[in-house]
Chains A and B, each alone.
Chain A
Amino acid sequence: MEKTEQVQYNRAGQRIVSPDYLLFEAPREKYFMTGSEVVKEAVKRASVDASVSYPITPQSEAAHLIGELWVEGYVGVYFRGESEFGVMSEVAGCSMAGARTVTTTSGPGTLRAMENFPMWAGSRLPIQLILMARGVNAPLTIQPDNLEMAFLLDTGCMIWHAETAQELFDMILAGFVVAEQPDVHVPIITSIDGFFISHTREAVMLPPDDIALPPYDPYRSPMVPLDMEMSPGRFLRDPFVMKSNYVSYATHTSWQFEVRAAIERAKPYAKHYLRGLIEEFGDPEAEIAFVASGTAAAQAKEATLMLLHEEGVKARVVRLKTIRPFPTKELIEALRGAKYVFVPEFNVIGWLEREVRRALYGNLDVPVIGSPRVAGGMTMPPEIIVKEVLQFLGKEVKHVV
């Protein structure tokens, strides 16, 4: 008798396939889409149980499109929250109840919801937040800028930064898989630079939409799943803060360390599903190196080509796919032999430069130059990056931007 394989389907009638099949093996077709539309396509294939939304530019369209998925039967629960704070609290409730949960936000909305992110992490909730970064202000900006990512760095959430809509699609699917591993099980923030990715169209390769990720299994959670017997009230009863003694302080310390350790445990999984924590581009022997993430990495790659073809200067780019966990070891290895490290960024504070300096300190003796740096909607043409490098090297600058 022939062996028969049991085929399983999710609530939307999609065939359940392994994450590896969905991400690496399934045939793909080419589409021309915006980043927001790509979010819909990823969530459609992710067997999502719940999503809560609230409008804020530039993520509103993505949130709206997830709502369409609910109408179409792909998402189990969908509603609009009262505010970003409400949304991030409500998705926590969904996740505590055992639902695979996704939401989206941008800029000031992120800060309005801020208290919830460490709460998600401390409660070990593998919620996915798709962050379409736009900056924090006053004066108001609704333009590309990723300042809010800096505020999220130490919340206990994983943070990944996609360069393209294609990578956003793959990261959203991989994000659920990695975040839900029992030894990881912390929130995942998949970030893109708003407008550059959310509102522009690019070619993306998508697997068929009749297959989807296996559903989330809350019984593999590192904490007790909450239900009628085990309510959130019970989970939160008798918190350590009510007890002032050494024992409670030590427990809190161990708990917070455990959340950070969980992020580190994501490394092998992320390495597999993202095909590496970093991407190297250009001449691996070049003395000029750029370290960048997101859109800044795309611009640095163009600058690398311009430097080579127009100036005869060899350069390389180390693109970080994950910011938390931070790929310290990979970065140090990739930068060996570099004489200058430039960190181009779409924010005024240079949060990635700080991260790079911290990773290299005591490990690699190389000057780190935190420029160019733009914000509030300014673009970063590759000519600007080339100019900065040439000026730093004391070479003649031919380009006028």
Chain B
Amino acid sequence: MAKLGPSGYSPYPVAMYEELLTPPPGKALLFDEIVDEEIAMREAAKAMLTRDNPTIFPGPQVLYAWNEEAKEKAKLVRKIAETLGAKIIPMYDYRPKYPKIDPEKEINPNHPNLTIWHNNIKACIFVGVHCHYANVALKIIRAETDCFTIALCGNAGHEDAMITLRDQHAEELEKFIKVAEEVKKELGK
């Protein structure tokens, strides 16, 4: 992701148009740069702590107790929200919601811009969203909003987010909380 949105009429993918791919194992993406995980974590925390209405969008992989890791990660996501002073708006399933969703209560991957516009969200974190739906949503968000998107992905990451961290399991989320606490202190918040 080379630029903050709104980037245009159509949700063009950076993988095709900017040859930007998911980061290699052990690394992260900060816009179009491959960086160390900790640097990306610091920038992610900074964006969430300094931009308006920071919000975490947790997906089914952390919303439902389908395994022990999910339960652990859910508790950590709540802790991240507390640390960053962020709101939580869930993406609890992926079907398009018509005639309309309640953008106060949920976000949907097929029209994520509605929730972001309505709540005036300027920074967000995707966590626990299945990769395909995260990617569909992240492209639309970049095309249509100026929201700063961050992906904490359990798999390979999402190059359409402005910051993407890959292989984020409980241990990494704990590390992110620590980094966020440090950044918060540095910012005097």
Contact = CB atoms under 8 A, between A and B. Distances in A.
A binds B: yes
Contacts of A264: 13, 15-16, 19, 21
Interface in A241-291: 243, 247-248, 250-251, 253-255, 257-258, 260-262, 264-265, 267-268
A6 to B, nearest CB: 20
B11 A267 contact: no
Given A254-B139, A260-B16, A183 B10 contact: no
Contact of A254 (B11, B14, B131): B11
B98 A243 contact: yes
A124 B131 CA distance: 11
A237 interface: yes
A230 to B, nearest CB: 10
A257 B132 contact: no
Given A260-B16, A261-B135, A268-B21, A251 B110 contact: yes
Interface string B112-136: 0010000000000000001111011
Contacts of B136: 251, 254-255, 258
A237 B156 contact: no
A185 B159 CA distance: 15
B96 A260 contact: no
A10 B94 CA distance: 34
Which applies to chain A's interface (DSSP): helix, strand, loop or mixed? helix
Nearest to A234: B95
B131 A257 contact: no
B178 to A, nearest CB: 26
B21 A222 contact: no
Interface size class of A (residues with CB under 8 A): 20 to 34
- Interface size for chain B: under 10, 10 to 19, 20 to 34, or 35 or more residues? 35 or more
B157 interface: yes
Nearest to A257: B13
A194 to B, nearest CB: 32
Chain B at the A interface: mostly helix, strand, loop or mixed?
loop
Contacts of A220: 155
A261 B110 contact: no
Contacts of B133: 222-223
A371 B98 CA distance: 54
Contact of B132 (A222, A248, A253): A222
A183 B131 contact: yes
A240 B130 contact: no
A270 to B, nearest CB: 12
B72 to A, nearest CB: 16
B21 A267 contact: yes
B16 A243 contact: no
A181 B21 contact: no
A251 B16 CA distance: 17
Contacts of B157: 183
A103 interface: no
B15 A265 contact: yes
Contact of A223 (B96, B111, B132): B132
Contact of A124 (B15, B132, B155): B132
B131 A261 contact: no
B64 to A, nearest CB: 10
A124 B111 CA distance: 20
Nearest to A239: B96
B60 interface: yes
Contact of B11 (A223, A243, A257): A257
Nearest to A329: B19
A247 B111 contact: yes
A255 B19 CA distance: 18
Interface in A165-196: 181-183, 185
Contacts of B76: none
A203 interface: no
B12 interface: yes
A63 B146 CA distance: 52
Contacts of A329: 19
A265 B131 contact: no
Interface of B: 10-16, 19, 21-22, 24, 60, 94-96, 98, 109-111, 114, 130-133, 135-137, 139-140, 143-144, 155-157, 159-160
Listed from nearest, the 10 A-B pairs whose CB atoms lie closest are: A222-B131, A261-B15, A222-B132, A261-B13, A182-B155, A183-B156, A254-B11, A251-B110, A264-B15, A254-B139
6 contacts: A221-B130, A222-B132, A223-B132, A224-B130, A250-B10, A257-B10
Given A254-B11, A261-B159, 12 more contacts: A224-B60, A224-B94, A238-B98, A247-B111, A251-B111, A251-B136, A253-B10, A258-B136, A262-B15, A264-B19, A264-B21, A265-B15
